Structure formats: C-alpha cells, structure tokens
C-alpha cells in the first residue's frame, strides 16, 4: 500500500463520518486534504495523519474524539495492521508487513517511471537559465545556475509538465561591439581597447578567425570588424554550448536577442516595436518628456520604467518586454527565470512587466535568484584570466561531484565547496556516499545471481526486520518527494533524501542478508530481499538522474 492508496482509504473512512456530522462536508473533501507524514520515531507507526485536527473545527467536534471514530473502520481496511490516536488527535497508522513490502515489487516493475507523477500536468513552462553573454567562457556562477536549472527542469518534467529549457543569447548591444573590437585588435596584433575583453581566449578566438577566414586582412573598416565579430561570436557560442553539454546540461532552445530587434516579415515592425504597442493597448504605457514609459508601479515596482528614450533608442527593458511577450506567443503560460545574485532588481521589474502584459504576476512568472558560489583553492582561468571557468572546474572535480554538490543546497544560500571532500572516496563525500550505495545494490545483485538467487518468489510479509520497515518507509516517500521538490523548485530536497535513503540501505545491508551464510539454503525470504535490494537501487538511480548525476554500477 503506497501513500496515495492509504490516503484514498483514509478519505473513504473520513468522508461519511464528516457527512454525518455536517451534511455537505463529504463533497468538500478530496485526497489532497488527507496529508500523511512519516513519524520520526518508527515506534509510532509507518504513517501519521492530522486529518481529525484539520476537520474538527468545521465539523464542530473535538479532534481527539473524531480521531477515535476513525480508528475502528480504518483498522478494518486490508493492509492496515494497527491504528491509534496520539496527542490531541493525530492518527498513527501501521501497515502490515505484506502491504508495506509489496512496494518493493511495485518499484522494480515500474523501473525508471517510479517517482514520476502528474502534479504538473497541463502546466506549460518556459525555464530560462544560465543565459550568459557570448563574449567569454562560462564561469563558476554559471556552473551553479546550470546545475540548478537543469535539475529543476528534470523535476518538472518528471511531474508531468510541458517544459522547454531555454538559453537567452544576449548577442545584441554594446557588449558585442566591445567583444568584436577586442578580437579584432588581437587579429591585427595591436593592444585591445580599454573597455574591451582580455585573456588568452581572445587570442585563441583571433587565431581561429584567421584560420576560418585567411583573407581577413583584405577587409577594412566596418566590414572587417563585422566579419571578425560574427566569426568570434559563433566560435564562443559553440564553446559555451559544448561546455554545457559536457556538463550534462542540454538546452532545447537557444534564443537570440537579435530576433527581438530584427524587422518583421512583410514590412512588419520588430518584436520590440510591437511590444511597446501591445503594452500600450493594456493601458499601462504613457508618454512623458518625449520618452515612452511603462507604469510598472501599478504592479509593485519601485519606479516606472522607460521603455523608449526621448532620442528614440530602446532600453534593455524593451527587450525584456518583447522577450516576455514572445514566450507567451510561443505557448508558454508559465515563465521561470533563474538569475544570478546581481539581478535582485529584476524580480519586481519582471513581475511588473507580466502584470503590464495582462498576466498574473503571482501565477504566470517566477524569478528565482541564485546566490554566489566559491570553491576553496580554485584558481582563476589561465585562458580568461579573471574568472574560474566551468570547464576547469569540471576537469578538476568531475561533473558528478559538481552537479550533486551544487544541487545539494538551496539556490538562495551562498555556498562554499571544499574540493578535498568532493575528491574523497569516503562517506564524508555526499555524492560518493549515494553513488556507492547504488553500486552496492548492483554488487549484491551480481553476487546473488552467482549464488543462484533470483527474483523467482516474492513474500512481502517476510520483510519484518526493523531496517526493512525503515527502508520501505523511505522508498514510499520518493514519488511525493519528487512532486513536492518540483512544486517548490528545490532540487536539494532530492539530494538530501538520497543521502537518507543510502544510510537506511547501508544499515539494512549490515543486518539482512540476501545471500545465505555457509550451507544455509536460499529461501523465499532471500529472494524477497533481492526485490528490496533492487528496488532501492532503482530509486537511488532515479533520484540521481533527476540531479543529472550518473549512477555507477561498480566503484
């Protein structure tokens, strides 16, 4: 019996009792109202519910008395061994061994699908993250946003959402001109501009430009600058894409800012031009001092925003507006932005933009701010000179260690990682601890096969050891944990769950044998424990996959 089945059984008992006390009460209840929690003390049972406390006031009754009414009929439900009232009205539930143990087979048969759910079904989401300027390598901050953003995407997809991972290429504006002039100076062998980009990577890009375009010195003026800039831009963007793919982060869409400024087909205005008029139709655009403004203070912003200056030039806010509207035009009702620590000012601005566009700022847009991350002893990039590159970090610490560690903490927490711990092959290293548990499940399965033990029998009622009860209880939590982590956009909950599960598995391994000792003959208990072993491995594998981390079979 899994938590959803138990919730349904509890609802079936509670609904008629509630109806008897207040006609119409049953119609107001659903399975979502029946919250189950795992007691910290396993002596209190497998599950606890506060449903009596939750409903008592509306039913005009004492919660403990109402809980006592629930005990009898709930105890009669098949698969439930015992029910008791605790404290002011909590209901503690203990499953019989067979009902609890049946989960092991369910997990093995579900395989990679175990943990997936439908809580986000019908939600169409555009998730934008990283979005680094294509003027240099990805750095340590981008590394954190990449790990978090991709893990959030995996959680939402596992929960049934329709989602696209999007990288916004900020390839228009002054920074691209500075980038082009910097590479051009390197091509010509002269000092770069004072406001330009520096580092060995600029020299490397210049060398690639010469290889790609041997006649580059035959060009002059703007034509030469344009050619150098566009070639260097293509090379640098390609490096960014390769770095992310090697970090196990895949983007479905690479959206160029230039699309927003380009003239439309058949003489239509650009998307930026259209954005101004579309916001004006919504009634939140006004003209003042020859400039065009959006009254974002109507939606909680600290000041109104200029969208077009008096000289006719658009502000960055105009591109933000066009981009937001374009996401909606492409069918994405919900937009999630994962931004760096220096973008706090964007939260109110983007939410106000959503309101000005006619959307609900509290439902249709989320702006998540990730805090800074540092790694003790990390050296600045030799190529870029003033940053710690993603590629250097990955080569130093490994993709798995980086991704797991960066996803292990809330996005809004500043983070300092210890490379010595991340490189250890001991239990002090969280990712090693979890991966080793997974590898151990495979080792047990290999040894079982060598001993002639297979999953040819399943006797869940035999899984009565206290470590088996604890392990099964944790396995039951996985689907709900995935759904909740997706809802609150917090991948770190998955990492912490996996560490708890690994610990419970190791304790079970120390106490319950899958392979008989000595001349002892295999029994159905050993075969059933193999199901539990394999079920645990499956959940560890599924959880690591949600974080973009590998699940090795040998370590």
Assess contact for 229 and 187: CB atoms under 8 A: no
Asked if pLDDT for residue 199 goes beyond 80, the answer is yes
pLDDT (mean) for 31-59: 87
pLDDT at 382: 65
Q: Which residue has the higher pLDDT, 54 or 371?
A: 54
Assess contact for 165 and 129: CB atoms under 8 A: yes
Asked if pLDDT for residue 202 goes beyond 70, the answer is yes
Express the helix, strand and coil content of the chain in percent, nearest 5 each. 55, 10, 35
- Picking from 167, 192, 118, the residue whose alpha carbon sits closest to that of residue 338 is 167
Candidate CATH numbers 3.30.70.141, 3.40.50.1820, 1.10.730.10, 3.40.50.80; the one for domain 101-119+424-546? 1.10.730.10
Q: What is the DSSP string of 448-508?
A: HHHTT--SS---GGG--SHHHHHHHHHHHHHHHHHHHHHHHT-THHHHHHHHHHHHHHHHH
pLDDT (mean) for 462-490: 95
Q: What percentage of residues in the chain have a pLDDT greater than 90?
A: 84
**pLDDT class of 397 with cuts at 50, 70, 90:** very high
Cα radius of gyration (the chain)? 29
Exposure on the CB side of residue 10, measured as CA atoms within 13 A: 29
253-256, strands of its sheet edge to edge:
253-256, 162-169, 124-128, 334-339, 365-369
Q: What is the DSSP string of 130-157?
A: ----TTS--BHHHHHHHHHHHHHHHHHH
Which residues have CB under 8 Å from 460's CB, separation 6+?
97, 98, 99, 100, 101, 102, 104, 105, 528
Gap between the Cα atoms of 394 and 548, Å rounded: 14
CB atoms within 10 A of CB 51: 25
User: What tens digit of pLDDT does each residue of 325-384 get?
Assistant: 999 999 999 999 999 887 888 888 899 999 999 999 999 999 999 888 888 888 766 677
- For 336, list phi and psi in degrees, rounded to 5: -120, 125
Alpha-carbon distance values, 475 to 129, 458, 501, 524 (Å): 31, 17, 8, 21
**pLDDT class of 518 with cuts at 50, 70, 90:** confident
CATH class name, domain 124-171+251-373: alpha beta
CATH architecture of 3-95: 2-Layer Sandwich (3.30)
Alpha-carbon distance values, 442 to 251, 406, 531, 541 (Å): 32, 26, 12, 11
pLDDT at 41: 76
User: What tens digit of pLDDT does each residue of 68-106 get?
Assistant: 999 999 999 999 999 999 999 999 999 888 888 999 999
Assess contact for 101 and 528: CB atoms under 8 A: yes
Assess contact for 483 and 32: CB atoms under 8 A: no
Look over the chain and give the mean of its residue pLDDT values, rounded to a whole number. 93
Name the residue ranges covered by the structural domains of the chain. Answer: 3-95, 101-119+424-546, 124-171+251-373, 174-246
**pLDDT class of 264 with cuts at 50, 70, 90:** confident
CA angle 434, 437, 442 (to 5 degrees): 135
């Amino acid at each position: 019996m899994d938590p959803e089945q138990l919730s349904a059984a509890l609802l079936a008992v509670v609904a008629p009792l509630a109806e008897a006390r207040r006609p119409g009460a049953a119609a107001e209840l659903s399975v979502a109202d029946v919250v189950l929690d795992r007691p910290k003390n396993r002596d209190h049972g497998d599950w606890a519910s506060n449903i009596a406390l939750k409903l008592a006031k509306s039913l005009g009754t004492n919660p403990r008395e109402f809980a006592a009414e629930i005990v009898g009929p709930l105890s009669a439900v098949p698969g439930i061994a015992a029910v008791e009232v605790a404290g002011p009205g909590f209901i503690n539930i203990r499953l019989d061994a067979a009902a609890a143990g049946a989960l092991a087979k369910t997990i093995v048969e579900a395989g990679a699908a175990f943990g997936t759910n439908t809580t986000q079904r019908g939600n169409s989401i555009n998730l934008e993250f990283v979005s680094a300027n294509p003027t240099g390598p990805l750095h340590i901050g981008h590394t954190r946003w990449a790990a978090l953003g991709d893990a959030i995407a995996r959680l939402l997809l596992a929960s049934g959402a329709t989602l696209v991972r999007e990288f916004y290429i900020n390839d228009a504006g002054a920074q691209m001109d500075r980038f082009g002039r910097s590479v051009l100076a390197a091509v010509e062998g002269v000092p770069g501009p004072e406001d330009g980009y520096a580092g060995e990577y600029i020299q490397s890009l210049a060398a690639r430009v010469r290889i790609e375009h041997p006649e580059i010195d035959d060009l002059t003026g703007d034509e030469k600058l344009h050619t150098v800039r566009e070639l260097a831009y293509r090379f640098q963007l390609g490096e960014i894409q390769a770095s992310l793919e090697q970090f196990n982060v895949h983007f479905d869409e690479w959206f160029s800012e230039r699309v927003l400024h380009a003239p439309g087909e058949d003489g239509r205005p650009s998307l930026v031009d259209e954005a101004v008029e579309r916001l004006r139709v919504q009634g939140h655009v006004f003209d003042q001092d020859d400039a065009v403004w959006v009254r974002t203070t109507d939606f909680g912003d600290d000041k109104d925003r200029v969208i077009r200056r008096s000289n006719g030039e658009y502000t960055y806010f105009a591109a933000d507006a066009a981009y937001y509207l374009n996401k909606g035009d492409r069918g994405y009702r919900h937009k999630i932005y994962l931004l760096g620590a220096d973008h706090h000012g964007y939260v109110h601005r983007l939410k106000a933009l959503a309101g000005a566009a006619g959307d609900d700022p509290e439902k249709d847009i989320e702006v998540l701010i990730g805090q800074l991350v540092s790694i003790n002893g990390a050296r600045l990039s030799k190529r870029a000179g003033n940053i710690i590159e993603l590629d250097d970090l990955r080569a130093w610490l490994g993709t798995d260690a980086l991704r797991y560690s960066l996803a292990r903490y809330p996005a809004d927490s500043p983070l300092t990682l210890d490379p010595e711990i991340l490189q250890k092959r001991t239990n002090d290293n969280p990712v090693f601890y979890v991966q080793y548990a997974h590898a151990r499940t495979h080792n047990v399965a290999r040894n079982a096969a060598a001993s002639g033990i297979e999953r040819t029998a399943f006797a869940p009622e035999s899984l009565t050891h206290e470590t088996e009860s604890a392990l099964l209880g944790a396995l039951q939590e996985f689907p709900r944990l995935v759904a909740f982590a997706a809802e609150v956009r917090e991948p770190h909950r998955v990492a912490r769950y996996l560490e708890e599960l690994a610990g419970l598995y190791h304790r079970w391994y120390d106490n319950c044998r899958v392979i008989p000792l000595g001349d002892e003959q295999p029994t159905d208990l050993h075969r059933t424990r193999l199901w539990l072993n394999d079920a645990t491995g499956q959940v560890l594998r599924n959880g690591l996959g949600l974080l973009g981390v590998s699940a090795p079979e040998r370590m």
